[in-house]
């Protein structure tokens, strides 16, 4: 049974993104992105049922993450890289056994 592990998630994301991005961001940068994604999940309206793999849903996550990272003075992530990193985290989530 696989459960969420932030170190495994970071490794997975690094292996998912294009080679040029693999070592571009620190573990803390990736953790900031993941935390921002989980803020999106917490803020999401539970009444809206949208498949987690739909392009519209993914775009909502990416837009939310970009908006919030722009406000964060500790952010080092380039906006053009956000979607790759978000997709890596989503793919990591898809490998987990969620009950």
32, part of any domain = yes
Expressed as residue numbers, the domain containing 35 is: 6-94
Q: In the predicted model, what is the mean pLDDT of the chain?
A: 89
Global confidence as pTM: 0.87
The 3-state DSSP class for residue 1 equals coil
The domain total for the chain is 1
Least Cα distance to 34 among 71, 73, 80, 68 occurs for 68
Inside any domain, residue 50: yes
Residue 63 pLDDT class (50, 70, 90 cuts): very high
Mean pLDDT of 13-29: 95
> C-alpha distances in angstroms, 11 versus 1, 48, 51, 85?
18, 31, 25, 12
pLDDT at 50: 60
* Residue range 60-81: mean pLDDT, rounded: 95
Euclidean distance between CA atoms 77 and 82, whole angstroms: 7
Closest CA to 91 of 19, 37, 39, 23: 37
């Amino acid at each position: 049974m696989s459960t969420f592990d932030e170190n495994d998630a970071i490794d997975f994301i690094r292996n998912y993104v294009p080679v040029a991005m693999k070592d571009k961001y620190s573990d803390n940068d990736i953790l900031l992105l993941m935390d921002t994604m989980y803020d999106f999940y917490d803020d999401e309206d539970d009444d809206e049922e949208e498949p987690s793999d739909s392009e519209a849903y993914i775009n909502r996550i990416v837009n939310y993450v970009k908006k919030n990272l722009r406000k964060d003075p500790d952010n080092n992530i380039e906006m053009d890289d956000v979607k790759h990193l978000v997709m890596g985290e989503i793919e990591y989530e898809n490998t987990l056994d969620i009950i």
